[in-house]
Amino acid sequence: MSTDGTNYLDALVTKLKSAAAPFRDTLNELHAKYKDVREGAVADYIPELAKADPNAFGISVMSVDGQVVEVGDHQQLFSLQSISKPFVFGLALEDHGREHVLSKVSVEPTGEAFNSIVLDETTNRPFNPLVNAGAIATADLVEGKNFSERISRMLAMFSRYFGRTLYVDNSIFMSERATGHRNRAIGHLMLNFGMIKDRVEETLELYFQQCSLLVNCHDLAVLGATLANGGVNPITGQRAIKAEYVKDVLSIMASCGMYDYAGEWAFRVGLPAKSGVGGGIVAVVPGKFGIGIYSPPLDAKGNSVRGVLACRELSERFGLHVFEAGHDGPSLEDEFRPRRG
Ligand code: DON
């Protein structure tokens, strides 16, 4: 087959794809608009994270019936980091129920940085399961008769969400473990107050592993679409979390998911979401879509700069805000449907 033949086929496939979903043109336009944004810096407090390509940028959007539209570096692997936290919270809820979990971690937004060494002065609980302190307390609640059973249960939970086996990036895990002194300090502070069991190093191993899981944008869209779909993975049909706890995970993502940007995010974007220092953002349009974005440069609050910009524009353009009552622009459902005739 001549190169002309190949180019022709590629062009045809692209045309067919684009014809299939006008939303692909919209995502390409959004990607082109923000790919040259140069604000932010790649995280480097975990040395291995500093190797990420600052120009990488991918967007994936999946509907609850499993259709996906994605552009840019949507297959580029990166570490899940804090995006892991709401899902381990979900597993802890399944293992212990709400009241016991809330006796160990509160559900209050802090307005503090994600790695702040502060606990609630009255109850000595970490403020919520999405700051590092709360995530370590939640990891400590993952049941299992020993460490390997706890890890396999955590990995099995993520595989239900992602619909595939996930792997830990060992170099990121080792880098995180070697430099995780602040998290160790948080762990021992919570041990001091009885918020976690006397197995700080074991629980930190579990926490560092959940943060070092390798995913891509497509995976994040599946993760978000699974929550949007009431806890059932739209590709595999497998239930990833008991239906009764889906609202708990979405609530904590809505109130605490974007750290000390959570208030402005709730105001401007209005979607449950979670960011990670690896450069990922997952957002959920309940009942409709999962959005996955990857771009390593972070703002001062630890959120992906291009990710926040792209999510804001998607929410404004398609009226995705959960409290939207007056959107007269295009609907994302219509854009997702293939063009007719
Ligand atoms: O423990 C840490 O600091 C990292 N493993 C996770 C922090 C993170 O992703 C914060 N998110 N924006």
Q: What does the pLDDT look like over 28-48, one tens digit per residue?
A: 999 999 999 999 999 999 999
Write down the catalytic residue from 60, 63, 79, 82: 82
Whether 223 contacts 292, CB under 8 Å:
yes
Mutual orientation of helices 147-162 and 200-211 as an angle, nearest 10°?
Answer: 20
Ligand 1 atom closest to 303 (CA): 12
- Check residue 112 and give its pLDDT: 85
Which among 225, 234, 198 has a CA at the least distance from the CA of 292?
A: 225
| Exposure string for 152-173, b = 16+ CB within 10 A, e = fewer | ebbbebbbbbbbeebebbeebb
Calpha distance 78→279 (Å, rounded): 8
Q: Which of 34, 245, 259, 261 is catalytic?
A: 259
Whole-number pLDDT of residue 1? 46
Q: pTM to 2 decimals?
A: 0.93
How far does the centroid of ligand 1 lie from the alpha carbon of residue 177, in Å?
12
- Picking from 314, 303, 297, the residue whose alpha carbon sits closest to that of residue 71 is 314
Nearest protein CA to atom 11 of ligand 1, as residue: 276
Domain with CATH 3.40.710.10 in the chain: 20-81+214-335, 83-211
Per-residue pLDDT tens over the stretch 58-97: 999 999 999 999 999 999 999 999 999 999 999 999 999 9
Active-site residue (options: 71, 88, 246, 277): 277
**Residues 6 or more apart in contact with residue 330 via CB below 8 angstroms:** 317, 318
Mean pLDDT, all residues of the chain: 94
Instruction: Say whether 261 is catalytic.
Output: no
- Indicate the top mutation candidate among 260, 277, 281, 295 to test ligand 1's pocket, ranked by most ligand atoms within 8 A of CB: 277
Q: Residue 19 above 70 pLDDT? A: no
- Residue 330's SS3 state is coil
- Is pLDDT of 152 > 90? yes
Q: Which amino acid is at 152?
A: S
Write a three-state SS string for 139-184. HCCCCCCCHHHHHHHHHHHHHHHHCCCCCECHHHHHHHHHHCHHHH
pLDDT tens per residue, range 198-211: 999 999 999 999 99
Q: What is the third-level CATH fold of 20-81+214-335?
A: Beta-lactamase (3.40.710)
Q: Which residues line ligand 1 (CB under 6 A)?
A: 81-82, 114-115, 132, 176, 183, 211, 275-277, 302
What SS3 state is found at 298? strand
Q: What is the distance of C-alpha 67 from the center of its chain? A: 19
Classify 270 as helix, strand or coil.
Answer: coil
Q: What is the DSSP letter of 304?
A: B
- Give the CATH number of domain 83-211: 3.40.710.10
Ligand 1 atom with minimal separation from the 176 CA: 5
82 carries an active-site annotation: yes
- Which residue reads 């059932």 in tokens? 232
* CB burial readout 55-72, b (16+ within 10 A) else e: ebbbbbbbbbeebbbbbb
Contact 169, 212 (CB under 8 A): yes
**Which token pair is 218?**
């497509």
